[in-house]
Structure 1
Amino acid sequence: MTSTLNRVTNRAKRQVIARFAPVNRLVQNAYEARVREHRPHLPTISPSTAALIEEVETTGVAVTSLDALGIPGTERLKVILDDLKASLAGRDPEGASALKPAHDELMADAALWRWGLQQELLDLVENYVGLPVTYYGAAVYREVADGRVEGTRQWHRDIEDHKVFKILVWIDDVTPQGGALQYVPRPVSDPAVKELRYVAGFVPDVEMEKVVPPAEWVKAVGPRWTAVLADPARILHRASPAEDKDRYSVTFTWTSRNPIKTMPAAEPFTADEDARIRAGLTPEQLACLPA
């Protein structure tokens, strides 16, 4: 009941913001004021990190690799993800198009969840979002190669916030037919959103083709450990239907601390999980944990 009420409330909120110009201006002006106020307090980042942020700002996506990001704990992360991939690969999908680990399996090693709390990543994301951020953890998936177009395999934009930052990591090679992230770059996506009068929900291929030719649909493919940095709130995108092989990936997500959308409550941590996540974190890192 609570999740249904949240969905209805969030959709109504977005409809009001999108359809009523005075409300839209009020929300946008308040957001821009917060960004201006926080700008002098943004953490210092390297030129290479700034270049990635600029690419995401310009196109909506930047493709790099885990190794190139150089985040502490990456080698441990790879081992954990390989183990989870092997576990998911051994399961019968039983007709499902997507599989994910059980909560206790995902949280067996807190290093997976804590990777997104590394200070280098928090500094990167804060510079992109322009505000203090909240981190929502890691989501591991196996997208089954059944060719179905359903759920997030349909075109959409995320509606959590003005800016949303995600890092998708391919745990196995991802080919054009292997479930790659497919997106429309921002310079094309922005006018398409206006033409579609898009607020939320899914857009069928037949409708997308009317506003954006398929030749302009881009796929973020790459070998194992490719890292796809994206703002799914500012581009039309989807998980393209996997056809020739299953896709294995992990997604890390951040928003500002005052997102537009009321975020759904994740499965609560046990006392042990909570203690392992929090152990040794700085006050700055602790402030990024979801409420």
Structure 2
Amino acid sequence: MISELKWRYLDNLGPVLAHRRDRQPLAGEAARVVAELNRNGIAMTSVAALLRDPSCFSSLETAVAELERLAADEIAAARQAANRADGWKTYLLEFLGKHPVLDPQSVYARFALQTEILRIANGYFGMRTRLRTYNVWRNFATKMAPRNSQLWHRDPEDRYVLKGFVYLDDVGRGCGPITYAAGSHPKGGLKRAPAFTKTAGDKAKRSDDAQMAAVVPPERWIEGTGPKGTMVFADTRGYHKGGQATERDRLLYMCMFTSRASRYPEGFQRPADFTVPAGINREQISALSAEGRELRGLGKPNGGGV
């Protein structure tokens, strides 16, 4: 892994300086979330506690309900296949496809680009970040042993990888909540890596509970349960697992932020004629920037919102 100094002050110098020039001090719930992220690598809040305007969440709920109505047959077929052991993440349905089309006017982009969310991402990274993907996930309840991302792992996309999860239904212990080894993120200073196994066709190093407990004791594991409207922010460079629903499905919205220097391809299909909408601010323009460059000439500093 590249050094923190090189990553921050060489590979990401422009976004760091832009953030320092235009940033607004974090306050209230957003400041608490970033402080908790810095300390543990994961922080929980809610739509009601964090967002000044809940209307985007209402629009998200409406859009997802329509997705589910239109995909009723696909959902039924995927549910039937969820217990198959011979496929990749057969327990998961991504409603927007593997690589969603980036549409900044859609509620899925607008939710991620809300001022409170974007400033948490930028505040945690200490730079302007890029929105790399978003999606809506349904994890089907199954009786299978944990597999794939249901085992402990780290995400590879960047030095920090911030994912935001928004629960569209109640998520209890039997719904496969994200579980996070507190302090295992890059800011936490964990020195030991757990033992792991690798399976054919899977490049990731994955650990079971016993292997993880040998490095981070279970009392340091944070389980992200909560009612509808719960929001979870997690640096998924830290060890985490999730999605093993055993009693009831898990339904959530997900968005992901990295630095500009990430060498992984973004998770979107970016249209050839992609343009940013008028009336958005510089942080939002940076978040929508294309691979390796900033979109310029639109927006105004620290104003408005999506």
Residue of 204, 214, 223 corresponding to 2:208 = 204
Measure, in 1, the Cα distance between the counterparts of 2:217 and 2:209. 10
Shift of 1:175: 0.6
Q: How many percent of aligned residue pairs carry the same amino acid? A: 24
Q: Which amino acid aligns with 1:205?
A: D
Aligned-partner Cα distance in 2 for 1:28–1:248: 35
Q: Distance in 1 between matches of 2:68 and 2:151?
A: 24
Q: CA deviation at 1:250?
A: 0.9
Structure 2 unaligned spans of 5+: 82-89, 197-202, 291-306
- Offset at 1:132? 1.3
- How many angstroms does 1:39 deviate by? 6.7
Tell me by how many angstroms 1:68 deviates: 1.5
What root-mean-square deviation, in Å, do the aligned CA atoms of Structure 1 and Structure 2 show?
3.3
- In structure 2, relative to structure 1, the CA distance for the partners of 1:144 and 1:270 (3 Å cut) is farther
In the alignment, is residue 63 of structure 1 matched against residue 67 of structure 2? no
Q: Per-residue displacement from partner, 1:10-46 (whole Å, max 9, x unpaired)? A: xxxxxxx3xxxxxx5xx32223544975674333322
Taking the TM superposition and a 5 Å limit, the aligned residue runs for 1:167-206 are: 167-186=164-183, 194-196=192-194, 201-206=205-210
Q: Distance in 1 between matches of 2:125 and 2:5?
A: 16
Say which structure is richer in helix.
1
C-alpha deviation, 1:164, in angstroms: 1.9
User: Where does residue 140 of structure 2 map in the other structure?
Assistant: 144
Q: 2:62 aligns with which of 79, 83, 107?
A: 79
Q: Check if 1:231 corresponds to 2:229.
A: no
Aligned partner of 2:236: which letter? Answer: P
- Report the AA paired with residue 227 of structure 2: P
User: 1:83, CA displacement in angstroms?
Assistant: 3.1
> CA–CA distance in 1 between the matches of 2:160 and 2:259?
8
Instruction: Decide whether the 8 Å contact of 1:114 with 1:137 is kept in 2.
Output: no
Per-residue deviation, residues 39-91 of structure 1 (Å, max 9, x unmatched): 74333322331111001111111111112111542332232233335555662
Q: Which residue identity is paired with 2:269?
A: E
The alpha-carbon deviation at position 136 of structure 1 amounts to: 2.1
Partner of 1:162: 159
Cα shift readout 1:97-122 (whole Å, capped 9, x = no counterpart): 11121449x76971222221223322
Corresponding position of 1:100: 94
Change (3 A) 1:88 1:215: farther
Structure 2 match to 1:11: none
SS at structure 2 position matched to 1:208: helix
Letter of the 1:157 partner, please give it: R
Matched, 1:49 2:30: yes
Quote the Cα distance in structure 2 between the aligned partners of 1:54 and 1:135: 21
TM-score (norm 2): 0.73
When normalised by structure 1's length, the TM-score is: 0.76
Which residue does 1:222 correspond to in 2?
226
Which of 89-98 and 49-58 deviates more?
A: 89-98
Structure 1: stretches of 5+ with no match in the other structure: 1-16, 18-23
Which region of structure 1 is more displaced relative to structure 2, 45-54 or 35-44? Answer: 35-44
User: What letter is aligned with 1:228?
Assistant: V
- Aligned partner letter, 2:58: E
Other structure's SS at 2:287 match: coil
Q: Deviations over 1:145-164 (max 9, x none)?
A: 11432221111112222222
Report how far residue 137 of structure 1 moved.
3.6
Whole-angstrom distance in 2 between the partners of 1:31 and 1:268:
25
